Homo-oligomer: A and B are copies of this chain.
Amino acid sequence: MLTKEHIAQKFRTLQDDICRQLQEADGGGKFTEDNWLRAEGGGGRSRVIEGATIEKGGVMFSAVHGPLPEVTAKAMNLPPTTFFATGVSIVLHPHSPMAPIIHMNVRYFETGSGRWWFGGGIDLTPHYVVPEDAIFFHQQLKNTCDRFHPDFYPKFKETADDYFYIRHRQETRGVGGIFFDYLDENSAGMSQEQLFAFTYAVGQTFAPTYVPLLENARNRRWGEAEKKWQMLRRGRYVEFNLVWDRGTKFGLETNGRVESILMSMPPIASWGYNLQPKPGSPEAETQAWLRKGVDWV
């Protein structure tokens, strides 16, 4: 068995590694850090950036513990117990409409009654879908998954399609990615060490996957029209996170740390009334990609 201290320490190192790589790629911005404590136990180390390439981003580490909130215990069919949770969460909103928004989360959860599991995922939300980027992105995720289990990529890809879905708009948030939860000793015949190695590998895949996507976007020109579309797409991102994202809803309903939960919000977003992209436009093309079940690899 791995100790929770070990896992938390590794996640903290992951946060350091990712911030270093992102700061280098940003080419101008610097992460600022603030540490916070949770009244009931534990705390976190938040790192946020307003950079040259990344307009607003957060790479958040936390390790919290205490009594398991009643609503969680209920939802999970557990008697009153304690919990420990640690993880790294990232959302990055680039300046350029031609670069994608990205989200990553890796986490470990343990209850006082001896249950434990890993969860996490990475998903990509381009303002303009560039098929080559989406293929590269999914290929990277698949490579990482395949090192651990042949079922992981197809299964977690489908879960991401279902999860990152804006039901009221009947569109996916972006081009998906992978999403997994409740990975425990019963999930894949793998040990805790192996499942942690997988989860950690997902975390390590993040920077080498996103940095090239930022590079690809550097040469793409954009103007007013693209910026306007980006704002609208960010509006959809807000809609998904505030209306459908389980983590956000759960956090806000159980008095989680608001500033950490809502670091996923874009710096600016916009809404119009009944806007439809012109048929045949790049915006309409993107809209057409926002569906479940696209096989990118």
A residues contacting B by CB (< 8 A) are 34, 46, 48, 56, 58, 167-169, 231, 235, 238-239, 242-243, 249, 252-253, 255, 258-259, 261-263, 265-274
How close is A178's CB to chain B, nearest CB, in angstroms?
26
A-B contact pairs, 9 of them (CB 8 A): A56-B271, A56-B273, A231-B268, A239-B262, A242-B243, A243-B243, A267-B272, A268-B270, A269-B270
Which residue of the partner chain B has the closest CB to A49? B273
How close is A133's CB to chain B, nearest CB, in angstroms?
26
A169:B271 contact, CB within 8 angstroms: no
How close is A195's CB to chain B, nearest CB, in angstroms?
32
> A252-B168, A252-B243, A268-B231 given as contacts; is B273 within 8 A of A259 (CB)?
yes
Which residue of the partner chain B has the closest CB to A168? B252
B265:A235 contact, CB within 8 angstroms: yes
Residues of B within 8 A of A46 (CB): 273
Residues of B within 8 A of A269 (CB): 238, 268-270
A34:B242 contact, CB within 8 angstroms: no
> A243-B249, A252-B168 given as contacts; is B238 within 8 A of A273 (CB)?
no
How close is A35's CB to chain B, nearest CB, in angstroms?
12
How close is A269's CB to chain B, nearest CB, in angstroms?
6
B168:A258 contact, CB within 8 angstroms: yes
Residues of B within 8 A of A56 (CB): 271-273
Docked pose: A269 CA to B263 CA in angstroms: 15
Residues of B within 8 A of A265 (CB): 235, 271
B274:A34 contact, CB within 8 angstroms: yes
Closest A-B pairs by Cβ, 7 of them: A265-B271, A242-B242, A168-B252, A268-B270, A259-B274, A48-B273, A242-B243
Highest count of chain B CB atoms <10 Å: which of A56, A253, A269:
A269
How close is A205's CB to chain B, nearest CB, in angstroms?
25
A267:B271 contact, CB within 8 angstroms: yes
